[in-house]
Structure 1
Amino acid sequence: MITTLIADHLFDGKTLHSNHPISIKDGKIIAFDTVKGAIETKVSGLLTAGFIDTQVNGGGGCLLNQNTNLQTLTAMSTAHAKYGTSSLLPTLITSNLNKIEQTANLISTAVAQHTPGILGVHFEGPHISEPKKGIHSSQQIRGLSQQELDIYCRDDLGIKIVTLAPENVSSETIKILVDHGVHVCLGHSNASFEQAQAALAAGATGFTHLFNAMSALESRAPNMVGAALLDEQSWCGIILDGHHVHPSTAKLAYRAKAARKMMLVTDSMSTIGSEQTQLHFDGHDINLVGDKLTSNSGQLAGSALNMITAVNNATHMLDISLTDALNMASLYPAEFLGIEGSRGQLSIGANADLTLLSTTNSSPRVLNTWIGGKAIF
């Protein structure tokens, strides 16, 4: 069956079109035209590429660390699809070896079964820095063992990200990870500028939640933030919820960072898409007050941010166009992951991962999301 959607407006990642058809068959985009025999549907709003979130700890009342099963992955994908995300990387926060292996086996199954929305996995820690651990468990922070290296180098996990502190993981090990298809991100780190640069030279290509849990830019020591902003080849994830980064700091970083290299992430916890306002994680009681998650110690504890809110915040905080903000949520993360041919922009042959946004005010909301050509709502 061929479906043709005719949108009031369509943004393909480069150009904004009006009254533009897009035809879909077997979960792929086959034409930007009407096709004979297709079922045509008129959709009101702005049709754009589905969002890609590279850092998702939970959603739908479930947290990957606590409920490491297929039901959790489905709940996360469904919850985030309500806010425009069609692809995500479930993120395991610093854990023991057994939990890492359990998560890897789960992701392997999900990828093999083509679980909607699940691209692979993001291991955030445990190979991080104690001074920049945030709410990560001190008891689990450690070096990178051969057993863990073997798990990260598996070829059945889909897209893989490992966030690590380069002062605790050697450049030689980073190179091994990269050679086995791992996207190495630097984060939760107190590294010097030189240590960060050495990790980049070894193949690291990303920075996890820029500014948060990393050594700050100083007048006489650029540190990790300086390395992130100065490097023209790497990508920076940023949490634009108004709590993790001051809007003016975010705007300055956006202007300083190389074009197309800043991407939106949520770092969201289980509250997304649920009525949950409290959760317990690894010894922390975490409360949602307004749109902010904090632990009983007063620390930020992940976020309550969803992707469409991040997009809207980007337009207002960074003073950029909606189309630029949309690319920060779709095209740029796709480029970071090396999947821009299949996701992150609308092109013939790409997956029919779409998001429909309202156009009635300056802060669009999600009207529908398609994953592989199937509407979620």
Structure 2
Amino acid sequence: MTSDSITFRGGPIFDGTHLHNSWAARFDNGQLADLGPQKDVAGGQVVDLSGDILSPGYVDLQVNGGDGLMLTDAPTVETLARMAKAHRRLGCQLILPTLITDTPEKTRATIGATISAIERGVPEIGGLHLEGPHLSINRKGAHDADLIREMTDVDVEVLLDAAFRLPALMVTLAPENTTETQVQTLVEAGVVVSLGHTDAPFDTCLDYFAAGACCATHLFNAMSQLGNREPGLVGAVLAAGNVSAGLIADGIHVHPQTIAAAWNANQKPGELFLVSDSMAVAGTEFESFQLEGRRINRNKGRLTLGDGTLAGADLDLTKALRVMTEEVKLPLEWALRAATAVPAQLIGNAKAGCLITGTLMRSVIRIKNDLSSATFASE
């Protein structure tokens, strides 16, 4: 699109909070200039949405790979750029590339590559998510048990430096291999600390939330469950009130009715949000890939190790919207917030999750009205 002024109309417009019918959005020179009822917004080239939804692009805080690559295989600027491009094709305006449990050397290389990618202007890279290595072996999932370890003072210093140099740093850790003091130190430096891959009991999880952890990684998966006598991390998230949690809403990792129950039970202001937990196959037709020498098979929406253990997800956030609305039975407006505004706010980038004056058209997506796909409005 080359016109200096473009007006989108003819479909619902989601502004990051509400889904508006009979509204229009005008972009002048690639920036949002006017948003409101159709009768009040006009100018330039008119694009008929034909019932499609105009929305801020997705914000995905858990992206392990894409375009045939895993971040852990080659943590370079080139890998990050290819991952970002693949996820842009899937509707993401912002991602946190995610390094799963690995060596200290690989962690430092990934931090350096992410900083370089942002300095070089790879626009979709919003920071970094380190999922491990300070997890529980009992809840390791597809993580390599040989690389899981306690957090040391050196690890803390590396993370503090990364938090200073990155726009956002998210760290998934378990109480089994960290201390409350370490969590408090990280949080004070701006790190988004998320509990995950842990067997910690309810009271311990509440203690870590009190120390500053504000999130849980892929709720229900690889964590202590909600039981009749021990509520676990799941119960702590739902009861804490100030804790958010990512959800892999593919209908496989978590049953839709379980998602619905959690959504209804969750205490505000913490909110649930959508993540893809995507792997190398994202944006490709590949049927398998290698994860640290282990073959991961892709079959009917599942990614599994040879023993059947789930290894990430074969998911994009448009599909997650479809699951949330058609199977979980949430209003589309709520599901859209969970894919845009909520994760954006969690990493301190609220502007990325909403349509406001000055929003770049290149960050706005057009979602098919049947929730089958999403493309950027500028492309």
Normalised by the length of structure 2, the TM-score is 0.92
Question: 1:343 Cα deviation (Å)?
Answer: 1.0
Work out whether residues 87 and 282 of structure 2, in 8 Å CA contact, stay in contact via their aligned partners in 1.
Answer: yes
Aligned to 2:90: 83
Aligned to 2:146: 139
Query: Normalized per residue, which structure has more helix?
Result: 2
Cα distance in 2 for partners of 1:212, 1:57 equals: 16
Work out whether residues 331 and 345 of structure 1, in 8 Å CA contact, stay in contact via their aligned partners in 2.
Answer: yes
Question: 1:62 Cα deviation (Å)?
Answer: 1.1
Aligned to 1:100: 107
1:40 corresponds, among 40, 45, 54, to 45
Cα distance in 2 for partners of 1:328, 1:37 equals: 30
2:323 corresponds, among 309, 313, 333, to 313
Q: Secondary structure at the match of 2:166?
A: coil
| TM-aligned CA distance change 1:36 to 1:283, over 3 Å | closer
| TM-aligned CA distance change 1:151 to 1:37, over 3 Å | farther
Work out whether residues 73 and 292 of structure 2, in 8 Å CA contact, stay in contact via their aligned partners in 1.
Answer: no
Cα distance in 2 for partners of 1:321, 1:344 equals: 18
Cα distance in 2 for partners of 1:146, 1:25 equals: 49
Work out whether residues 23 and 32 of structure 1, in 8 Å CA contact, stay in contact via their aligned partners in 2.
Answer: no
- Determine if the alignment matches structure 1 residue 6 to structure 2 residue 15: no
Normalised by the length of structure 1, the TM-score is 0.92
- Determine if the alignment matches structure 1 residue 21 to structure 2 residue 25: yes
Cα distance in 2 for partners of 1:25, 1:198 equals: 50
When the two chains are superposed, the root-mean-square deviation of aligned CA atoms in Å is: 2.1
Please give the residue correspondences for 1:1-377 in structure 2 after superposition, counting only pairs within 5 Å. Answer: 2-9=4-11, 10-13=13-16, 14-25=18-29, 28-32=31-35, 40-44=45-49, 45-154=52-161, 155-259=164-268, 261-340=271-350, 342-352=351-361, 353-359=363-369, 363-369=370-376, 375=378, 377=379
| TM-aligned CA distance change 1:349 to 1:199, over 3 Å | farther
Question: 1:229 Cα deviation (Å)?
Answer: 0.9
Which range is displaced more, 17-26 or 68-77? 17-26
| Code of the aligned partner of 2:160 | C
Q: How many residues align?
A: 367
Work out whether residues 127 and 169 of structure 1, in 8 Å CA contact, stay in contact via their aligned partners in 2.
Answer: yes
| TM-aligned CA distance change 1:270 to 1:262, over 3 Å | same
Residue-by-residue CA offset, 1:300-338 (whole Å, 9 max, x unaligned): 000111110011111022211112111110011112122
Could you tell me which runs of 5 or more consecutive residues in structure 2 were left unpaired when the two chains were aligned.
none
Work out whether residues 127 and 164 of structure 1, in 8 Å CA contact, stay in contact via their aligned partners in 2.
Answer: yes
| TM-aligned CA distance change 1:36 to 1:191, over 3 Å | closer
Question: 1:287 Cα deviation (Å)?
Answer: 0.4
Cα distance in 2 for partners of 1:56, 1:314 equals: 19
% identical aligned pairs: 33
Cα distance in 2 for partners of 1:282, 1:239 equals: 23
**Runs of 4+ in structure 1 over 4 Å off:** 33-39
Work out whether residues 278 and 285 of structure 1, in 8 Å CA contact, stay in contact via their aligned partners in 2.
Answer: yes
Question: 1:22 Cα deviation (Å)?
Answer: 2.7
Question: 1:85 Cα deviation (Å)?
Answer: 1.2
Cα distance in 2 for partners of 1:269, 1:325 equals: 22
Question: 1:282 Cα deviation (Å)?
Answer: 2.2
| Code of the aligned partner of 2:95 | L
